[in-house]
Structure 1
Amino acid sequence: MGKNRHTLLELTGMIGKAISRSLNGSYWIVAEINEIRENYSGHCYLELVEKDSGNDNIVARCRATIWAYTWRMLKPYFETSTSQKLSKGMMVLVEVTVEFHELYGISLNIKEIDPVYTIGDLERRRKEILHRLEEEGIINMNRQLDIPGIPSRIAVISSPAAAGYEDFIHQLENNSRNYRFSTMLFPAQMQGSTAGRSVTDALDMIFEKEGMFDVVVILRGGGSASDLSCFDSYEIAAHIAQFPLPVITGIGHERDKTIAGMVANTNVKTPTAAAELLIGKYTEADSLVLSFGNRLASAVTNLIRQNRQVTTALSGSIPGIVKNRMQQAKAELRASGSIMARSAGGYIQKRHHTIDSFHYRFRVHTKNYLLSHKSSEAEMRTKLIPQHTARLLKGRSERLHLFGTKLGLLDPENLLKKGYALVTKNGNIVKSARNIHFGDLLETKLHDGRITSRVSDIDISTDNTKVSE
């Protein structure tokens, strides 16, 4: 057979030479980091990809390498410029050369990186996340919650070994006012690729025990600002924004601003500042209670002063009131006696009229009756009429006289003339010894005057009251 044959090594060598001839310069490319790892030898190995903007499918993939001598310069330069570490999912603009190896195929050798492009892309992503949160109507939900006046039950999300967590606990436990706080730690990774999932898992656990806590505090504290990228993710931001308890974040430095901090109820710069915020809430409540107590004491004092003035004024007018009341009662008794006398007279007169009318009707009836009977019988009955009439009139007159006598006996003035007395206390008639107390001032009304006395002894069993003037 006259066919030209080549070994695989020869063919790969030809490919390498062709690539070297046609791609012998350097190129700036935009790509997304799909994988990144730093080798123990100091080299950095990456997988760069490009994705379809419509469906996020990978349409191109290539290995890349940053050799140790280049990595030692590019790494601090990039992190200082962007405050971020090179990580999975990050868009980068890098200068590369194309290399081909018979065993490993095509790879890219990264020579330079432009941090400005990455900063712009990160900012674009932040804006997209914020816009999404706003479109979903959840961006302000947690900020609308009120931190309780006494936030004593605190759920903490942090790394147990973080210096910031220790600072937070120390600040709470050693506050100058000796306020007492109850804290429960929900451990989480606060940096790295697993930090986002770790924090959201901790929030889910707190949600299951929501009734046990007043607030949630997320603490990072310490470490590099480049480790904050996980707190710019949509997942953490959405969890915080929709959480039913107020969330306080203390995960950055003075210049750092994360999406998590922007959607949280309150964002502070350090764990110590978070502790001071909670102590300050306690202090505000304490001052409010003290102020309320002072106002209440002042109001009570004024009320006592006013009541004392009213009591003094009333005590001075009581004797006059009692005197007027007694005079009114006397006048009412006299008026009642007069009314009763007039009523009795009218009643007696009315009865006389009734008897006269009855007598007249009886005579007429008798006359008619006698006319209809025999004259002898009529004559006999006529003789009996005056006798019966006299007896009837006598009986009616005696009853009227007795009724008038009873009415006279009921007149209060007559009762007093018979030796009875009317005892009053503070203008009220005393009906029982149980209503009298030692030292009470009593007034006894007789038919010819009044006696004022003070109680010195009370005998309930015999119903006798000894009074000394």
Structure 2
Amino acid sequence: MPLTYLNVEYAQRGAVKALGARWDAEARKWFVPEGRDLAPFGAWLPAERRFTDTAVAESSIGAVQVQRRGKSLSLLLAGVADAVNRTFHQGEWTIVDVVQVSVRKHVFLELAERDSNGVVLAKANAMIWASIADQILPPFEAATGMSIGPGMKLLVRARPIFNVQYGFRLILDAIDPDFTLGELEARKREIRARLQQQDLWGLNKALDFPWDFRAVLVIAPEDAAGLGDFRAEAQRLDRAGVCRFVYAHSRFQGPGAAEEIIEAARTALTEPPRDSWRLFGLSQAAIVLALQARCRQ
């Protein structure tokens, strides 16, 4: 049986492919594989092969004409896919609220738009291909200091697509970090103004610092992989005068590790700068006993 070739415009290639058509590279035409129902491809069939609204059913008596009302679902959805593909040739910059994010090789998002009262005006599923995510997410995280998550407002470049089998979704290929930074700054100013209106701004500055986070004794193996990252973050708090960190080293595994941890804590609390511990009001005995209890568990 000869192949059934289709008359497909370039913008419609996604619709016929979704229906099961194949591309003949030599003939440079789309065709319907042998044995597949031609009805879903009625809009692209040559004039001499085009289906009418009449279907022929075989019976023991002979050929009986049965009137078919309407079109198949796949044909209807193929028309929707064609309309979407013809309308949106490329992505458009769109403001969205992130409702949910999940990573399963590719990044899948649930997006929405809300009014000032939080009422959802629109929502859609979106996707970032893994190869694109590797290009656009690291610069966004470096610029904002955050990973994409629920509650964030983003400016993304989104291209709507419609698939006959999988439905409607947005494909994202760019994110503007400057928009997110501006949005965060606007939210910060809004919170500050509200606190000032309620005479709450600055009240926390009148409170004494709690003793339990003004000084921290950090005990870790000297070659611990995460110690450098911890120090980098801790130094920010130290420079701001929020918290002071004292470091001691001990093994965490092997025979005698528990006793070594206790000794490291005792040494750090009894040798210089022990005056700093007294200044912050820490109980040396309480810390050592707490570590002993922890090690015995």
TM-score range, shorter chain: 0.5 to 0.7
Look up the SS of the partner of 2:217 in the other structure: helix
Task: Give the letter aligned to residue 168 of structure 1.
Answer: V
Partner of 2:126: 64
Q: Superposition RMSD on alpha carbons, in Å?
A: 3.9
Structure 1 residues 136, 110: CA separation in 2 closer, same or farther (over 3 Å shift)? same
Task: Give the letter aligned to residue 140 of structure 1.
Answer: G
Pair 1:11 & 2:73 matched: no
Report the structure, 1 or 2, having the larger helix content: 1
Pair 1:95 & 2:157 matched: yes
CA distance in 1, matches of 2:83, 2:155: 26
State the shift of 1:123 in Å. 1.1
Partner of 1:105: 167
Pair 1:168 & 2:231 matched: no
State the shift of 1:256 in Å. 12
Counterpart mapping for 1:147-226 below 5 A: 154-155=211-212, 168-170=216-218, 222=229
State the shift of 1:116 in Å. 0.5
CA distance in 1, matches of 2:179, 2:231: 21
Pair 1:21 & 2:86 matched: yes
Q: Cα deviation per residue 1:403-456 (whole Å; 9 max; x = unaligned)? A: xxxxxxxxxxxxxxxxxxxxxxxxxxxxxxxxxxxxxxxxxxxxxxxxxxxxxx
Pair 1:254 & 2:236 matched: yes
State the shift of 1:129 in Å. 1.8
Look up the SS of the partner of 2:160 in the other structure: strand
CA distance in 1, matches of 2:95, 2:70: 39
Structure 1 residues 80, 99: CA separation in 2 closer, same or farther (over 3 Å shift)? same
Alignment TM-score, normalising by the size of structure 1: 0.35
Structure 1 residues 279, 68: CA separation in 2 closer, same or farther (over 3 Å shift)? farther
Counterpart mapping for 1:265-284 below 5 A: 267-268=242-243, 271-272=245-246, 280=276, 282-283=278-279
Partner of 2:29: none
Report if aligned partners of 2:99, 2:111 keep a CA contact under 8 Å in 1: yes
Counterpart mapping for 1:266-345 below 5 A: 267-268=242-243, 271-272=245-246, 280=276, 282-283=278-279
Q: Number of matched residues?
A: 185
Q: Cα deviation per residue 1:132-170 (whole Å; 9 max; x = unaligned)? A: 2222223322211245xxx8xx4459xxxxxxxxx9224
Partner of 1:30: 95
Q: Cα deviation per residue 1:272-291 (whole Å; 9 max; x = unaligned)? A: 59x99995484599xxxxxx
Percentage of identical aligned residues? 26
Pair 1:145 & 2:120 matched: no
Partner of 2:110: 47
Pair 1:83 & 2:145 matched: yes
CA distance in 1, matches of 2:203, 2:131: 49
State the shift of 1:4 in Å. 5.4
Report if aligned partners of 2:96, 2:155 keep a CA contact under 8 Å in 1: yes
Task: Give the letter aligned to residue 107 of structure 2.
Answer: C
Q: Cα deviation per residue 1:167-199 (whole Å; 9 max; x = unaligned)? A: 92248xxxxxxxxxxxxxxxxxxxxxxxxxxxx
Look up the SS of the partner of 1:254 in the other structure: helix
Look up the SS of the partner of 2:236 in the other structure: coil
Report if aligned partners of 2:238, 2:245 keep a CA contact under 8 Å in 1: no
Counterpart mapping for 1:305-454 below 5 A: none
Q: Cα deviation per residue 1:91-130 (whole Å; 9 max; x = unaligned)? A: 1111111111123211000011110000110111112222
CA distance in 2, matches of 1:106, 1:15: 10
Report the structure, 1 or 2, having the larger strand content: 2
Q: Cα deviation per residue 1:335-385 (whole Å; 9 max; x = unaligned)? A: xxxxxxxxxxxxxxxxxxxxxxxxxxxxxxxxxxxxxxxxxxxxxxxxxxx
CA distance in 2, matches of 1:99, 1:122: 30
Alignment TM-score, normalising by the size of structure 2: 0.53
Q: Cα deviation per residue 1:313-334 (whole Å; 9 max; x = unaligned)? A: xxxxxxxxxxxxxxxxxxxxxx
Report if aligned partners of 2:112, 2:124 keep a CA contact under 8 Å in 1: yes
Unmatched tracts of structure 2, length 5 or more: 1-52, 54-66, 220-227, 248-268, 282-297
Q: Which has the higher contact order (CA 8 A, sep 6+)?
A: 2
CA distance in 1, matches of 2:234, 2:196: 23
State the shift of 1:255 in Å. 9.5
Unmatched tracts of structure 1, length 5 or more: 158-166, 172-220, 226-250, 286-469
